[in-house]
Amino acid sequence: MRNAILFIPALLLVSALTQAQSVRIGYVDSQKIFDGMPEAKKAQEKMEKLISSWQDELDKMQKEFQEKYQDFQAKQGMMTDEAKQKAQQELVELDRKIQKFRNEKFGQDGEAVRERQKALKPLQEIVMKAIEKVAREEKLNFVFDKLQDASLLLYADEKFDYTFKVLDVIKRGK
């Protein structure tokens, strides 16, 4: 729905401009561009390593919780009410700690999202500069992104695909 709302005004604008003058349109596949950038691969590997270390830490915390819970289950029949309450409180506190860690690292606004954005921002700037350069050289009025899952581009002839020219600009020296 959101894409349709964005697409209709864009289509009307393109339609109006084609009536007024000759409009040149091209497209790129930003995913292919990022896949072709060694810097993007390095950033991805760094992110995977960081996320893996956080996941290992989370797994340890969950294992500790499971062990304490199983220990509590096995011994609760022999525990005093005070000891049971203390053990239950420890389990609740450990569970809160796990949830907090999960949200801080993997949540919607978590560290993983922030680190990914921080790593991608300079790469996105490089890609945008290269797209702008190719657009100027090819005298393009509009450049669309042929995204895999959310494309506004419903059809495009491959002769208007400037993905590899953008990659070439990036590889030649930014």
- Model's pTM, two decimal places? 0.67
Average of per-residue pLDDT across 60-70: 97
Return the pLDDT at 30: 87
Question: Is the Cβ–Cβ distance between 65 and 92 less than 8 Å?
Answer: no
Average of per-residue pLDDT across 76-91: 94
Average of per-residue pLDDT across 105-133: 93
Return the pLDDT at 87: 94
- Alpha-helix runs per DSSP H in the chain: 2-20, 30-35, 38-75, 81-106, 111-137, 163-173
Q: CA angle 58-63-64, nearest 5°?
A: 100
Average of per-residue pLDDT across 132-143: 88
* Domain parsing of the chain, residue ranges: 2-173
> What residue type is 32 in one-letter code?
K
Q: CA angle 139-142-147, nearest 5°?
A: 130
Return the pLDDT at 141: 86
Given the DSSP bridges, would you call strands 25-28 and 142-145 parallel, antiparallel or unpaired? parallel
